[in-house]
Chains A and B, each alone.
Chain A
Amino acid sequence: MRGYKILIVDDELSVRRSLQEWFLEDGFEVEIAESGEEALEKMHRGPYDIILLDIKMPGMDGITLQRRIKEIDPQAIIIIMTAYASVETAVEAIKLGAFDYVTKPFDPDELSNLVRNALKQKDLTEENLQLKETISELTSHQNIIGESPEMQRVFELVNTVSATDSTVLIRGESGTGKELIARAIHFNSKRRYFPIVAVNCGAIPENLLESELFGHEKGAFTGAQYRRKGKIALSDRGTLFLDEIGDISPKMQIDLLRVLENKRVTPLGGNKEIEVDFRLICATNRNLEKLVEEEKFREDLYYRINVFTIFLPPLRERRGDILPLARYFIKKFARAMGKPVKKISPQAEELLLSYSWPGNVRELENAIERAMVVGKKRELSVEDLPFYFDKRPNMIGKKMALADIEKQHIERVLAETEGNITRAARLLGIDRVTLYNKLKKYGIQR
């Protein structure tokens, strides 16, 4: 028990002395106070690990003193000492935040156990606080790179909405970092110590999405050998992040709307509703208004999710972020690959700045990763950057619709990968489902 500091507050000298002796023999640092006023004075001078407090004292009584101590040190662990007659008051003290109470006179064992448990509790609380601080540090949106005024505005919005429990809709092209923003909102909110559960609605076939979201009972369908909790139930007290919300089927839209209205889910094959408390964040790169107009997306669901919207600008609209992002990725991959690459040549910088980045930040990240793999020097040069930079004319300034540029780029990458969708999607910095959608949209044959 060496090193722990204890304060004994009792108006009876014999009690103070007895306890002091007892705790000194146990290796505690002990201080004593004979009144509430003296105790408060000592509290101002330094923190104590444990405060043993007599409930009945002339002048300031134990309950008032406890309240005042908690004002000075909210983490203070207080053990109330009471005579038989005042057990009810001791219970009252516990309701007000005392750790426990002990009735005088007590067994030596009782006191030792109480103090041991209190210290264990104190250590755990402190450890918990440290862990929470570490989590906050690791998950703060300082990790999202964005020096441009556009991204600064996004960060402001993240800060504003994090303090609330509002539903958030994040909109932006593929690869702009919608999930990162969702995570930043979650980890800055009061729900940060509970999970954020992400579901990519566009990547999961419709029939599986239902059981993925709502869970299922054993035997609910062929292959349901076990009971499984759905993602919605898993996000209880935390955040549910539904990515590609614009891609869900009309039936799923109805089911989801019901859950959002009632905050209750019924697993497939089950008949019992589960109450779930979650914050919803959705993301999409689709034009939801157009989908509503075309009656492909329910209007009521649209209004339900479109409470607070954050638009993530594409990388080509915030060119000021290209180089800081590139430098960040170089640092990240240099560490991961153990390569001494530290900077980019001015020509390579120019090349990065001149490109339109249809795959946004994800594409930039992939380009840098690829360059780092092939690069042999300490400086990333034009030769290290993906070959398509060399072979292609600079498209900026030419009168081409963005869609045309995107189409051409996809065709080129597909040709390069000999029609391999997985590789092409990776090079483009988008997921396979998005690539399939784009192939369909532009009528590109593999």
Chain B
Amino acid sequence: MNRKIYLALINHPKDFLWPNLANDLKKCVSLPFEPINISMDLELYFSRERGQYYSTLILANLLKFLPQDGEKIVGITDVDIYIPILTFLFGEAQLNGKGALVSTFRLRNEFYGLPTDYQIYYERLKKEILHELGHTFGLIHCRDFECVMNSSTYVEDIDLKHSRFCSICRKKLELYHKK
């Protein structure tokens, strides 16, 4: 695949200290990542009642930022996101689509009253990006608890899995690219 996967940093996420994120992800899976900064008025998607941001609407808007040479776009935001039916989300993706969104809000240790740990935070972020990206390639949740496509309800579940696809999911990815 030659077309790029854009990592869109929405409104300069707080404590985002990893200029090499795209290169690091490339090491996990051989895909051409490219970081970009974008600005978005997130207040349009804010729910006063819930104190959270509506993920699906952010995602819909994010697609407008996909450059011409882009295959996919993964937005990274530091706000707490939701969909109406669920209390919270780590990320949302279009199954077999072009866009995905990841929130760092609940990936940080501080959210759970624990001391800051940038290493853990970074690992969680990489896994969530790969997970949501996997959905855009048509991958569904995987039963292999070490596979990055394993479903994560809580942050502990993210910590359990690895930042790579299992052999079966990798095979499916390859098939997707061949198509």
* A residues lining the B interface (CB < 8 Å): 1-2, 12, 14-15, 17-19, 21-22, 24-27, 81, 104-109, 111-112
For the complex, is B45 an interface residue (Cβ under 8 Å from A)? no
Kindly list chain B residues whose C-beta atoms are within 8 Å of the C-beta of A107: 86-88, 153
B86 close to A106 (CB less than 8 A): yes
A435 to B71, CA, bound (A): 91
Contact A24 B95 (CB under 8 A): yes
B153 to chain A, nearest CB (A): 4
Is B176 among interface residues, defined by CB-CB distance under 8 A? no
Asked if B56 and A105 sit within 8 Å, CB to CB, the answer is no
CA distance A18 to B89 in the complex (A): 11
Show 22 residue pairs from A and B whose CB-CB distance is below 8 angstroms, ordered by the A residue: A1-B141, A2-B140, A12-B84, A14-B83, A18-B84, A18-B85, A22-B83, A22-B85, A24-B95, A24-B140, A25-B95, A25-B140, A26-B140, A26-B151, A27-B140, A81-B85, A104-B85, A105-B84, A105-B87, A106-B85, A109-B154, A111-B85
Tally of B interface residues using CB under 8 Å? 20
| A15 cross-chain contacts in B, Cβ below 8 A | 84-85
Interface check B164, CB cutoff 8 A: no
CB nearest neighbor in B for A112: B153
Task: Give the 9 A-B residue pairs with the shortest CB-CB distance, closest first.
Answer: A18-B83, A109-B153, A27-B140, A18-B85, A14-B84, A108-B153, A105-B87, A24-B95, A26-B141
Q: Please, which residues of chain B bring their CB within 8 A of the CB of A26?
A: 140-141, 151
| B98 CB–A CB distance under 8 Å | no
A21 touches B95 (CB 8 A): yes
Minimum CB–CB distance from B179 to chain A (whole Å) comes to 19
Closest to A20 in B: B95
CB distance from A114 to the nearest CB of B (A): 12
Q: Chain B residues near A109: list those with CB within 8 A.
A: 153-154
- Quick check: B153 and A14 within 8 Å, CB to CB? no
Q: Which residues of A contact B82 (CB under 8 A)?
A: 105
Chain B neighbourhood of A21, CB < 8 A: 83, 92, 94-95
Task: Point out the residue from B89, B94, B141 that lies within 8 Å of A27, measured CB to CB.
Answer: B141
Complex CA–CA separation, A384 to B83 (angstroms)? 82
**B86-A105 in contact (CB<8A):** yes
Q: Indicate whether B135 reaches chain A with its CB closer than 8 angstroms.
A: yes
Contact A25 B141 (CB under 8 A): yes
**Least Cβ distance of A104 to chain B in Å?**
6
CA A41 to CA B84, docked complex, whole Å: 26
Give bound CA distance, A111 to B89, whole Å. 13
Q: Is the CB of A25 within 8 A of B153?
A: no
Q: Which residues of B contact A2 (CB under 8 A)?
A: 140
Residues on the A chain within 8 Å of B83, using CB: 14, 18, 21-22
Name the prevailing secondary structure of the A interface residues.
Answer: helix
A28, closest chain B residue (CB) = B140
Closest to B132 in A: A25
Q: Mark B125-151, 1 if CB is under 8 A from A, else 0.
A: 000000000010000110000000001
Q: Which residue of A lies closest to B85 (CB)?
A: A18
In the assembled complex, which residues on chain A have CB atoms less than 8 Å from the CB atom of B140? Answer: 2, 24-27
Given contacts A14-B83, A105-B86, A108-B86, 18 further A-B contacts (CB under 8 A): A12-B84, A14-B56, A18-B83, A21-B83, A21-B92, A22-B83, A24-B95, A25-B93, A25-B135, A26-B140, A104-B84, A105-B50, A105-B85, A106-B85, A107-B153, A108-B89, A108-B153, A109-B154
For chain B, residues 61 to 105, give those with C-beta under 8 angstroms from any C-beta of chain A.
82-89, 92-95
Pick the contact of B86 from A1, A12, A18, A24 — CB < 8 Å? Answer: A18
Measured CB to CB, the closest approach of chain B to A123, in angstroms, equals 17
How many angstroms from the CA of A127 to the CA of B14 in the assembled complex? Answer: 53
CA distance in complex: A107, B152 (Å): 12
In the assembled complex, the CB of B135 is this many whole angstroms from the nearest CB of chain A, namely 6
Q: In the assembled complex, which residues on chain A have CB atoms less than 8 Å from the CB atom of B89?
A: 108
Complex CA gap A19/B82 in Å reads 12
User: Which residue among B56, B82, B83 has the maximum number of chain A CB atoms within 10 Å of its CB?
Assistant: B83
Please, which residue of chain A has its CB at the minimum distance from the CB of B92?
A21
> Please, which residues of chain B bring their CB within 8 A of the CB of A18?
56, 83-86
Could you say which residues of chain A place their CB within 8 Å of the CB of B56? 14, 17-18
Complex alpha-carbon distance, A15 and B86, angstroms: 9
Residue among B84, B89, B93 facing the most chain A CB atoms (10 A cut-off) = B84
**What separation, in Å, do the CA atoms of A328 and B141 have in the docked complex?**
55
In the complex formed, the residue of A with least CB distance to B135 is A25
List residues of chain A with CB within 8 A of the CB of B93.
25
Q: How far is the CB of A34 from chain B (nearest CB, A)?
A: 15
Chain A's closest residue to B93 (CB) is A25
Minimum distance in angstroms from B85 CB to a CB of chain A: 5
Give the residue among B85, B153, B154 with the most A Cβ atoms within 10 A: B85
A19 and B153 within 8 A (CB): no
Of the listed residues A21, A27, A109, the one surrounded by the most CB atoms of chain B closer than 10 A to its CB is A21
In the assembled complex, the Cα of A81 lies from the Cα of B84 at a distance in Å of: 12
Cα–Cα distance between A172 and B154 once the two chains are bound (Å): 70
Q: Which residues of A contact B84 (CB under 8 A)?
A: 12, 14-15, 18, 104-105
How far apart sit A303 and B4, CA to CA, in the bound complex (Å)? Answer: 91
Report how far A181 CA is from B135 CA in the complex, Å.
62
Shortest CB-to-CB span from A45 to chain B, Å, is: 24
**Inter-chain contacts of A105 with B (CB < 8 A):** 50, 82, 84-87
